[in-house]
Amino acid sequence: MSAKSAGEATLQYDGKSISLPVVEGTEGERGIDVSRLRSDTGLITLDPGYGNTGSCESAVTFIDGEKGILRYRGYPIEELAEKSTFLEVAYLLIRGELPSKAEFAEFDNEVTLHTMLHEDFKKFFSAMPKSAHPMPVTAAAVAALATFYPEPDTEEMLQRAVVRLIAKYSTLAAFAYKHSLGQPFMYPRNSLDYASNFLHMMFAVPCEEYQVDPVIARALDLLLILHADHEQNCSTSTVRMVGSSRAPLFASISAGISALWGSLHGGANQRVIEMLEQIQAEDGSADRFLERAKDKNDTTRLMGFGHRVYKSYDPRAAILKKACADVVDRTGANGDIGQLLEIAMRLEEVTLRDDYFVERRLYPNVDFYSGVIYKAMGIPVNMFTVMFAMGRLPGWIAQWIEMRRDPAFRIGRPRQIYVGETERHL
């Protein structure tokens, strides 16, 4: 499917009138096609932060930020969250349709069989300082996959690379954590599902039995589903941009992981929990923090609040809020985590009544409750964004493949309005 014609817009400039085609997507969203603007007029568009710029046509994910709607390949996030598993959703995003039973069994089996890392990869981790943040370690490890596996140049090799990436990412992430602790790496277990296997590699030690809690494994699977794609956000646009130079898949995904790390993007989940802990350590009241977040002379922001696209409640945050209460109940509502959840809920309540946040339509986003769940699961705070990236992998992959197959594919290369010195001489 591609966008259909929806008339023309007229641009008047310098005594001339220029017609620009208007296109419409399947959900009625309209855009002015400016792809011939420069060649026809010499003008370019200027849109810092790309808030008004559509960089591509895409059939992967639909968001209506006004109504709080999120759909992967047409399926509402609420239905996928309730009825699917992460690997089913990964298949849906990457291949376009939900798998049949037989298709899923084959995909699941392939992923399971590729979770092991080349033994030499262990040396990669030992070259990293134990104190390193796991995000750059993971980004570098994903880029390093390209040194072990050839650049895919056939469809079959590409599908193999996709499976390797999804399978090996969880092993890389768990190894990064084990390295930081100085504990032995736990090899993957083929008898476990994707989420349980990750929990096992993270928390088991060779000298003791470790039983994966199915409630925690299901909650992790849910988190991965909710993070699986979010159309043209910063990291996805990075993956597309890097891939547009014909850089290989692993290198493009590694760049996406780096983009995700920032505190305005995926790094916000770590910052949310740090914010809640700071409020807890002060006096449990969020008032002082809220005042700072509203103060234009202070760079503090209320982490986990606000979104470029959602101007209503982020549907992922709504699902997570409920899941969060269930996981906290399971792991001990009376302890520290229970207190953090209470602070988060109180903070949300106060904020949603506050004029500053109401006027700007700032609601909790996906990162607001995810940190509390990760913490309740025992995931260390500096691993939160690594978890986000694990969930986002299928979306990045689907968008990368879509971009490379797009007949309109060109290298991404924005223009600028130069405002520096005009020609001068020594």
Supply the residues annotated as catalytic.
307, 367
CB of 207 to ligand CMC, least distance (A): 38
Q: Please give the size of the binding site for ligand CMC, defined by CB under 6 A.
A: 20
Which part of the chain contacts ligand CMC (CB under 6 A), choosing from 65-73, 127-135, 145-153, 260-268? 260-268
**Residue 320 touches ligand CMC, criterion: CB under 6 A:** no
Phi, then psi, of 409 in degrees rounded to 5: -55, 125
Which part of the chain contacts ligand CMC (CB under 6 A), choosing from 5-13, 91-99, 100-108, 305-313? 305-313
Asked whether the beta carbons of 155 and 383 are under 8 A apart, the reply is no
**Residue 265 touches ligand CMC, criterion: CB under 6 A:** yes
**Residue 266 touches ligand CMC, criterion: CB under 6 A:** yes
Asked whether the beta carbons of 208 and 166 are under 8 A apart, the reply is no
**Residue 304 touches ligand CMC, criterion: CB under 6 A:** yes
CB of 358 to ligand CMC, least distance (A): 11
Question: CA-CA distance, 72 to 389, in Å (whole number)?
Answer: 17
**Residue 387 touches ligand CMC, criterion: CB under 6 A:** no
Question: CA-CA distance, 184 to 179, in Å (whole number)?
Answer: 8
Residue selected from 239, 366, 373, 387 as contacting ligand CMC according to rule CB under 6 A: 366
Question: CA-CA distance, 79 to 85, in Å (whole number)?
Answer: 11
| Token pair listed for 391 | 């969930």
Residue selected from 264, 288, 298, 335 as contacting ligand CMC according to rule CB under 6 A: 264
Look at the block and give the residue holding tokens 């691993």: 383
Which residues make Cβ contacts (< 8 Å) with residue 79, sequence separation at least 6?
none
**Residue 276 touches ligand CMC, criterion: CB under 6 A:** no
Which part of the chain contacts ligand CMC (CB under 6 A), choosing from 98-106, 142-150, 204-212, 265-273? 265-273
| Token pair listed for 108 | 């699941």
- Name which of 90 and 320 has its Cβ closer to ligand CMC: 320
Question: CA-CA distance, 263 to 267, in Å (whole number)?
Answer: 4
CB of 317 to ligand CMC, least distance (A): 9
Residue selected from 95, 301, 346, 404 as contacting ligand CMC according to rule CB under 6 A: 301
Which residues make Cβ contacts (< 8 Å) with residue 166, sequence separation at least 6?
87, 90, 111, 393, 394, 397
- Name which of 204 and 302 has its Cβ closer to ligand CMC: 302
The residue number with the shortest CB distance to ligand CMC is: 306
Beta partners for 9? 20
CB of 131 to ligand CMC, least distance (A): 25
Judged by DSSP in three states, 214 sits in helix
Asked whether the beta carbons of 262 and 426 are under 8 A apart, the reply is no
Which part of the chain contacts ligand CMC (CB under 6 A), choosing from 10-18, 19-27, 217-225, 302-310? 302-310
Asked whether the beta carbons of 389 and 212 are under 8 A apart, the reply is no
b/e 361-387 (16+ beta carbons within 10 angstroms → b)? ebbbbbbbbbbbbbbbbebebebbbbb
**Residue 362 touches ligand CMC, criterion: CB under 6 A:** yes
Look at the block and give the residue holding tokens 């103060």: 295
**Residue 169 touches ligand CMC, criterion: CB under 6 A:** no
CB of 205 to ligand CMC, least distance (A): 32
Which part of the chain contacts ligand CMC (CB under 6 A), choosing from 240-248, 258-266, 403-411, 418-426? 258-266
Over the window 28 to 67, marking each residue x when it contacts ligand CMC by CB under 6 A and - when it does not, the resulting string is: ---------------------x------------------
Question: CA-CA distance, 218 to 200, in Å (whole number)?
Answer: 14
* HSE-up (13 A, CA, CB side) for residue 411: 5
Which part of the chain contacts ligand CMC (CB under 6 A), choosing from 89-97, 236-244, 320-328, 364-372? 364-372
CB of 117 to ligand CMC, least distance (A): 27
Judged by DSSP in three states, 18 sits in strand
> Which long-range contacts (C-beta less than 8 Å, at least 24 apart) are formed by 418-422?
none
Residue selected from 68, 248, 256, 306 as contacting ligand CMC according to rule CB under 6 A: 306
Calculate helix-pair angle for 336-353, 315-332, nearest 10 degrees.
150
Residue selected from 135, 293, 343, 347 as contacting ligand CMC according to rule CB under 6 A: 293
* Residues engaged in binding ligand CMC (CB under 6 A): 49, 233, 264-266, 268, 293, 301-308, 360, 362, 365-367
